[in-house]
Every structure is written in C-alpha cells, then in structure tokens.
Structure 1
Amino acid sequence: MSLSARIDAAVRNAVLIGQGGIAPAQLSGALTYATTPGGARIRPTILMSVAMACGDDRPQLTDAAAAALELIHCASLVHDDLPCFDNADMRRGKPSVHRAYSQPLAVLAGDSLIVLAFEVLARAAHVAPDRGIQLVLSLAQKTGMPGGICAGQGWESETEIDLSAYHRSKTGALFIAATQMGAIAAGQESEPWFELGARIGEAFQVADDLRDALCDAQTLGKPAGQDDLHGRPNAVTALGVDGAMQRLKDILAGAIASIPSCPGEARLAQMVRMQAEQIMPVFAPVQAQA
C-alpha cells in the first residue's frame, strides 16, 4: 500500500467511527465533506515518514496518530472558514463547509472532528499505552492553548502580536506535532524532532503568505489576499516578495540539516526535499512577471 493510500484509509476509517450508530445524517455527511478530498495530506505524510524512518514498529498506532492529526487539521479549516473568522466561501476548490451545510453544522462538524481525533488515539492506545498517552498529550498541546493552533487563531484578536509566537502556533504547531508524533508512535524520544517540525512549519507559513499575496483564488482553491484584507502580519509585508522567497529557501535548507540521526534518515531527507519542490515552483512564474 502506498503512503497516500495508507493515510486515506486511516482517515476514512476514523471518520466512520464518528458516523457509527444512529447519527444525524447531515452532520455525518459534513464530516466526510470536511475531510475529502484530502488535499496534499502533508501533515500525516510527514508523521508517517518520520515513524517509518524510526522503524514504524507499531503501524496501528502510527495510522491512528496520522488520522488524528489530519482530523485536527481539517477541523481547523472548517472553523477558519466561518464568517466570524475568514468568512471564506471556498476551500479546496469547493464550497466551504458552512456554505454547503450551514454555520451551525460547520461548528458542530469542526467540534466533532476534534473530539474524534482524540477518540481515535484512545482506541489505538492499547497497542502501546505509554506511547498512546504521549501522543494524546502532544496533540492536545499543539491543538489548544497556550501554544497550539487555537492560540494561533487567538493572536489575531490581539492589538500587539508576537509574530514568532503567532506563526509557531498558527502554522508551526501541527507540523511540530507531525514530526514529534511520528517519533513517539515509533517509540522514540520526541524532543529531538521539534526543530524539524518547527522549520517545516515556518516554511509552510512563509509559502502560504506568498501564495496569499501572489496567487489568485482559482489557483488556491480558496479566497486570496486574505492577509491584507484582515490586516494579518505576514512574511511578504515584512520582507517583500524577494525577501520572503529567500527566507523560504533558507528555512527549507535548515530543515533538511536538522533531521535527527535515524535508520531512515536519507529517505526522510528526500521526502523533505520533495515537499520543498512542491512549494517552490508555485511562485516562480508570478515572480518572473513581477
């Protein structure tokens, strides 16, 4: 089974848990809608790649961790798109959940996905209870306060923003969770994997800032120009397009250099390079025309 097929199966099986029994049909449908199609599945791909680089001796736990992480990410997108936040009509090239199902169902769908993520981890924890507990703690810390994605959204309501803390929470948190949870699932210490996750997260934040500034809504599959519209701090405003591009290249080079020693280090470095190649070409044509 390919890595992408393994991830899709894990997410699909996780969503089925939330749709079991006698469940409200519209909310059940919203869970599937919010998680499919899955986009690039970057975070679970990183998680599984780290776990495989470290031996992946408990694949059932790795699958649960990858699914749980993706459910949290999908939940965050559902909530981000709501009128009280970004008020986005499109996500991944289709109507956002609140446009397709209504605002109340979007709130409930996001909440349900968050709760389901932790249920998925709890169901798999018997495979290696000590690892299961660590996975729950890691995901909780990167989801809530003070340094998770909830904090990242919360920073946007402050009059003075700590840009580093904002980016680390808003985008970096789930990438740090990806590298650390992959290590935990394979029975390794999580701390050495913090820097890799932080660097990948920072790279994707800068890339997202560039996409928002340079690409149109059709290319993005969601509204463009949101940073300027909402007055958010971003790399393009702070560094300019050329400066942000150079910053992105420097971060990605540092990410590869920060990979801890492990049996699958070379293969993992190749995965990071592949992710980098997927980011960089997006901006080349636009920059050339500038």
Structure 2
Amino acid sequence: MDLSKRIDRAMTSAIAHAQGQIDPDCNAPGRLAAALNYAVTPGGARIRPTICLSVARACGDDRPDLSDRAAIALELIHCASLVHDDLPAFDNADFRRGKPTVHMAYSEPLAVLTGDSLIISAFDLLSGAPDEDAARALRLLRLLARHTGMPYGICAGQGWESESSVDLSAYHRSKTAALFVAATQMGAQAAGHEPGAWEELGARIGEAFQVADDLRDALYDEAALGKPAGQDAIHQRPSAVEEYGVQGAIKRLHDILGGAIASIPSCPGEGQLAQLVRLYAERMTPVAPVRV
C-alpha cells in the first residue's frame, strides 16, 4: 500500500478512537471532538510518519500494525505541538496550512484541550498495541516520551525561546530535530531493530528541516507559506538565516543533507532511504524568494 494512503487510513482510525466513535455508548463533547479532526487535517506533507514508515520498511516491517501505531502517534504529537505553538501565548498565529488556526476556529480553551487530547491519544495508541507487541510498544513509548518532553524533546525546544541566551544547535535539536530522531528510531524499533544506530540520520534530517523552515520564514510570504511569514524576526527567535545569512543557510542545508545520506545504517532498504533523503533535499531547498 502507498505510504500516504496507509498514513491517512491509520490517522482516520486514531482520530475516530480519540473522538469516542468506536464506543456506541460514548457521549463526548462535540466541539472538542470536531476540533481534534480539524487539527490533523489537511495533513500537510506528513513527513515524520512517512520517515517512520520508510525506516520500518527498510528494516523489514515485520509488524506493520505496530509501525502504523508508531507513525501516527508521532504525527499526533506533531499536530498537538502546532496547535499549542499557534496559541496567543506563543506565536499568536491566525492561520496554519491555509486555514484558521484551532484557537481561531474553536476558541483558545478548546485549542489547549485539543493539543492535550492529541498528546494523550498518541500514548494511548501505542499502549493499545496487541500483547504480542508489548515489549516493542513499551520501547516505542519511551522513545516518544523522550523526544516529546524535557530535557531533550520538543517541550525543551519551546523552552529555549524563553531563555536570554540561546544555544542555536541545542535549540534546533530539541525544537525540530527531536521528532525526526523519534521518526527514524521508532521506525527501526517497530521493526525490531536497534534504534540507537538511527539517531544521527534523524538528527540530520531534523536540523536540515529547521534550516529550510528558517529560510522559508525569511524569504516567503504568507500566501506561499499558508501561515504568517517573518515570525522569527517578529518574535526575535534564533534562526539559521540570522546566524549564517541566506546563502550561508542554503549551503548549511546541503551540507547537512549530504551527511544524512552518509549516516544511513546498513539495512535491506538502504538505497531507497537514500533516495528519499535526496527527494526531501529537493523539496526543502527554497526555489526563489517571494518576499525580500
């Protein structure tokens, strides 16, 4: 099955479960249930679950149901982080993926609850794995927790923005790279492979994605991004463009992705993974500035 269809099917099932649709006796709050679906659709590139499943496939994917659970749990965490990032307390963004953000569409209290519910649903999804997958599922839970919270995960990344002095490398590792490391490690773990060997690949892809995001934020306008542009400068956040300049950031992006390909561990699907990283390199590199 095509990975995008596989991801969409698994996400639909996970959200239906989170909304209480599988329980005929459930009487869940309707607006919050609707907000959960609103927060995960449209799905965007679904790059993290795609990487997770691609690594699982490269490692044999002997338990596809568990791989699906890992990929979707990861995407639920990512979507939750976007809902929270858009809140007035953080980015105060009105649009995300070309439509009003959750707090604009449903209210700020429901946006907080939506993000919280998605996070809980991610862990619930992994904890509901069949008994025969329990050992792997427990390791997946630990990986997801490590890359979501403090001191190494995306919560730490958000926390760096409240510091007076910011270590750009540490900031990027936590804010963006953490979930890419989770993607490669959880894909390997779901297929029964040692996740430690996959850390460098995830870290490099994550760092490249953050540099590319910094470039898009600096060069593109709101119409091209589908969300507010120039946010790094407005909120005085650290960025690769501020650190290296535009051309220096583009060179940095290419260097990181070259290292990512070289870091792929030996596995049956090594060549396919290398091709996937090359494809991401093409997609990530800004084509031409829309805003100067």
> Within the alignment, does 1:246 sit opposite 2:251 as a pair?
yes
Give the partner amino acid of 1:261.
Answer: S
1:218 is matched with 223
2:35 is matched with 30
Give the partner amino acid of 1:51.
Answer: A
Give the partner amino acid of 1:223.
Answer: P
- Structure-2 separation of matches of 1:54 and 1:18: 30
> Within the alignment, does 1:192 sit opposite 2:197 as a pair?
yes
> Within the alignment, does 1:233 sit opposite 2:238 as a pair?
yes
Q: CA deviation at 1:127?
A: 3.7
- Structure-2 separation of matches of 1:98 and 1:125: 36
- Structure-2 separation of matches of 1:39 and 1:77: 12
> Within the alignment, does 1:285 sit opposite 2:288 as a pair?
yes
> Within the alignment, does 1:178 sit opposite 2:187 as a pair?
no
> Within the alignment, does 1:10 sit opposite 2:10 as a pair?
yes
Report Cα offsets for 1:212-236 as digits up to 9, x if no partner. Answer: 0000001000000000001011100
- Structure-1 separation of matches of 2:137 and 2:125: 10
2:109 is matched with 104
- Structure-2 separation of matches of 1:176 and 1:127: 25
Q: CA deviation at 1:200?
A: 0.1
Give the partner amino acid of 1:259.
Answer: I
Give the partner amino acid of 2:235.
Answer: H
Contact 1:175–1:201 (8 Å) recurs in 2 = yes
> Within the alignment, does 1:124 sit opposite 2:133 as a pair?
no
Q: Indicate the structure with greater helix content.
A: 1
- Structure-1 separation of matches of 2:132 and 2:9: 19
- Structure-2 separation of matches of 1:146 and 1:126: 30
Give the partner amino acid of 1:29.
Answer: A
1:81 is matched with 86
* Residue correspondence of structure 1 range 20-169 to structure 2 within 5 A: 20=20, 21-169=26-174
- Structure-1 separation of matches of 2:278 and 2:7: 20
> RMSD across aligned C-alpha pairs, in angstroms?
1.1
Contact 1:98–1:105 (8 Å) recurs in 2 = yes
Q: CA deviation at 1:125?
A: 5.0
Contact 1:61–1:127 (8 Å) recurs in 2 = no
Report Cα offsets for 1:115-171 as digits up to 9, x if no partner. Answer: 000000011152411111100000001000001000000110111112111110000
The alpha-carbon distance between structure 1 residues 125 and 201, as it changes in their structure 2 partners (threshold 3 A), is farther
Report Cα offsets for 1:52-108 as digits up to 9, x if no partner. Answer: 000000000000001100000000000000000000000000000000000000000
Q: Percent identity?
A: 67
- Structure-2 separation of matches of 1:63 and 1:138: 15
Q: Which runs of 5+ in 1 are unaligned?
A: none
- Partner SS for 1:286: coil
